[in-house]
A and B are shown apart, each in its own frame.
Chain A
Amino acid sequence: MEKRTNALLYLDGVNVSFDGFKALRSLTLILAAGDMRAIIGPNGAGKTTMMDVITGKTKPDSGDVLFADGSVDLTRHDEAEIAELGIGRKFQKPTVFESHTLVDNILLALAGRRDPFSALFGTRARISPQRIREVLDKVRLADKAERLAGELSHGQKQWLEIAMLLAQNPKLLLVDEPVAGMTDAETETTAELLREINRDHTVVVVEHDMHFVRALDCRVTCLHEGSVLAEGTIDAVAANERVVEVYLGR
C-alpha cells in the first residue's frame, strides 16, 4: 500500500490540527538521500510540528509520511522505533545529559542494543572508546571528553547534542534551530560542521538566522501557516514577494 517514491523522506498532504488550530495544511516535503535542506518560516509556521510528525511525537490527521524510498510509514511508529529506523532529532533548546560526562553522553547515544536488560548486564559497556573519541573530535569537543556536560557553554551543548545524533549514525538528521544563542564565530563553525555532516548524512535544518542559512548553501523551503510558501535557492526564496511579505515583514 506504500507509495512508490525514491525519496528518503516523503511528506505529502499532511494535515495536523490542535483543537481546531491547523498547524499543518497539506504540507509537502520531499528529500532525496544526501540532501541538505533549510526550513525557514515565521513563528507558528509549523516547522516544529513538522519535526514532531516526522519523529512520531505527533500523529497527523491525514497525509503520507514515508521514509526510506517509501518503504516505511512513519505514522505507524513511535519515537523510539523511529530513532532506531535512523532518524535523529536535535531539539531547539540544547538537551544533553548534564550530570554525565561527554563520554557517557556519547556512549548512551551510540548505536547498539537499547533494552534495560542488556544495559544492566553490560553489552553497552563494551563500546570502544575509539569510536567515542572520533565523534567528539568531529564536533571539536575531544579535549573536554571527561568534563560533565552541564559545565559546557550553551554553544558547546548544541554541538554535543549534534555529536549524540552522529553517534546514533542516523540516515536523516533533523536539526531544530542549532545556532540560537550562539556567537558569530560559533555560528560559522556550526555551519561548517553541518556541511561536513551532510557528506554522509541527509540533513534538515530549521533556522531563523538568514546569515546561517546562507552559509549552509543549500535548498531552502519557506513555510507559512502550515504549508509550503516557496522553495528554491536562498536567493530565489528571499526574492519571492510572498516570502518578503509574510516573513521578512518588509
Chain B
Amino acid sequence: MILARLLEMADYRGRIFLALLAALAVLVPIANLLVPPDSFLHIGTGTVVLLGKYLTYAILALALDLVWGYCGILSLGHGAFFALGGYAMGMYLMRQIGPRGVYGHPILPDFMVFLNFTELPVTWWGFDNFLYAMLMVVLAPGLLAFVFGWLAFRSRVTGVYLSIITQALTFALLLAFFRNDMGFGGNNGLTDFKDILGFNVQAQSTRVVLFLATLLTLAAAYIFARFMVTSSFGKVLIAIRDAESRVRFLGYRVEHYKLAVFVVSAVLAGIAGALYVPQVGIINPSEFSPTNSIEAVVWVAIGGRGTLVGAALGAFVVNVLKSFFTTGSLAAYWLFVLGGLFVLVTIALPKGILGALEKLAAKRGTRS
C-alpha cells in the first residue's frame, strides 16, 4: 500500500529506473549463483563486486544531485562524506577481526599494535557493535555537514567560494587521516577485513547479499530523494537555485533549507561509502582526495543534472568506461577521456546523457 503510493511518486523515467534495478536484483544473483561457471550467461563474483561498487557510486551521485542539481550548491567535497561513512564501516569490520590479526591481539587491530598503541582510542569505542557502527555511518557525515553547512550557509557563502571551501574541507580531512596518530590506520587505512555480521566478507554469497543491499539502498534513496524534490520542500530548493534572493524576500529562511538538504545529502553519501568499503575491501585516506569529489560532479554532469536518474546513470556509465580504460595499455589516457567527456557533454549535451536520450525519444515519438 505504502509502497504503491511511493512508486506513484516516480515519473516514467523513475519507473524505468526502478524496473532496471529490480531486473538486476533478480538476474545478477541467478547468473552468479545458479548458472554454472562454464556457461556464457554466468556472471563472475568479481563482476558482481564491480557492479556493487558502481551502485555505491550511483548513490553518491544521487546525493550530489540533490544539492547541486536541485539547490545549486556545487559541493566539491562530497567524497569526504562518502569516505567518513566508509571509515565508520571499516572500523566495525576491523573490530570484527578480533584476535585473528597477524599480531593476535585480542582487541587492538594490527596497525595499532604495530604503532605501539596500548589501548583502544576513544574514537574506536563501541565499533564492535554493528548498530552503533551504523549509527556512526549516519552521524559522522551528518554532523560534519551540519556544522560545516550551518557556518557556511549562515554566512551566505555561495557559488564558487562555497565550492572552494568544500574542496578545502575534504583536503583537510585527507591530510588528517594520513596521520598515524589519528588512529585510523594512517596512509594504509583499514583493510584485511574478515567478517561482516559473522559472515565471511570474501564469500560468494556475502558478496551477492552486499550487492543486493546496495541495490535496495539505491532504490530507497531514489524514492526518498524523489519524495523530497516533488514536495513543496523541493519546489523551494529549485526556487533557491533559480533566484535565491527572491526566496529570501518571500520570507523563507534559505539557510535552513540549504542546511537540511546538505545534511540529507551528506548522510546518503555516507551510507554509500559504508556499502562501498566491505565490497572493495579497503578504505584509506585517498578516498578523501579532492579529485574523487570532482569526479563525482563529472558523473552527475554527464548523466544529467537535476534528474536524479541521470546522476545514477552517469555514475554507472562513467565508471564502466573507467574500468575499461584503466586496465591495460589505455590506462595512461583515462584522465584525457574523462576530461574530454566532460567538455563534450557540456558543449553538446547540456542536459547530459539522460537529456539527450529523452530528446531522441521525443523526436521518434513525433515522427511516428
Task: List the interface of chain A (C-beta within 8 A of B).
Answer: 55, 79-81, 83-84, 88-89, 91, 95-100, 104, 107-109, 114-116, 119-122, 124-125, 161, 164, 168
Contact = CB atoms under 8 A, between A and B. Distances in A.
A53 to B, nearest CB: 14
A81 B252 CA distance: 9
Nearest to B255: A80
Interface string B299-325: 000000000000000000000000000
Given A80-B251, A107-B232, A168-B251, A116 B260 contact: yes
A197 B243 CA distance: 24
B15 to A, nearest CB: 22
B245 A108 contact: no
Contacts of B236: 108, 116, 119
B3 interface: no
B102 to A, nearest CB: 50
A89 B242 contact: no
Given A107-B235, A108-B236, 14 more contacts: A55-B249, A79-B249, A80-B254, A89-B249, A91-B246, A98-B243, A100-B235, A114-B252, A115-B256, A116-B233, A116-B236, A116-B257, A119-B257, A124-B232
A175 to B, nearest CB: 12
A168 B241 CA distance: 20
B177 to A, nearest CB: 32
Contact of A95 (B228, B231, B243, B257): B243
Contacts of B228: 120
Interface string B229-270: 001110110110111011111111110110010000000000
A48 to B, nearest CB: 13
A116 B257 CA distance: 6
A119 B231 contact: yes
A114 B246 contact: no
A80 B252 contact: yes
A168 B251 CA distance: 9
The 4 closest A-B pairs by CB, nearest first: A83-B251, A124-B232, A119-B233, A120-B233
A22 B306 CA distance: 44
A115 B283 CA distance: 38
Contacts of A79: 248-249
Chain A interface, >50% SS class: helix
Contacts of A108: 232, 235-236, 239, 247, 250
Interface in B61-90: none
Interface residues of B, number: 24
A125 B234 CA distance: 12
Contacts of B260: 116
Interface of B: 228, 231-233, 235-236, 238-239, 241-243, 245-254, 256-257, 260
A104 B243 CA distance: 14
A37 B115 CA distance: 76
A95 B249 CA distance: 11
A10 to B, nearest CB: 21
B243 A125 contact: no
Nearest to A90: B249
Contacts of A96: 242-243, 246
Contact of B231 (A89, A120, A164): A120
A25 B234 CA distance: 43
Contact of B250 (A83, A98, A124): A83
Contact of B253 (A80, A98, A120, A124): A80
Contacts of B249: 55, 79, 83, 88-89, 91
Given A95-B245, A97-B243, A164 B235 contact: no
A166 to B, nearest CB: 12
Contacts of A97: 238-239, 242-243, 246
A125 B249 CA distance: 20
A84 B249 CA distance: 9
Nearest to B257: A116
28 contacts: A55-B249, A79-B248, A80-B248, A80-B251, A80-B252, A81-B251, A88-B249, A89-B249, A91-B249, A95-B243, A95-B246, A96-B243, A97-B239, A97-B246, A100-B235, A100-B239, A100-B242, A108-B235, A108-B239, A108-B250, A109-B250, A114-B250, A116-B233, A116-B256, A119-B233, A119-B235, A121-B231, A125-B232
A119 B233 CA distance: 5
Contact of B238 (A89, A100, A122): A100
A89 B246 CA distance: 9
Nearest to A85: B251
Contacts of B242: 96-100
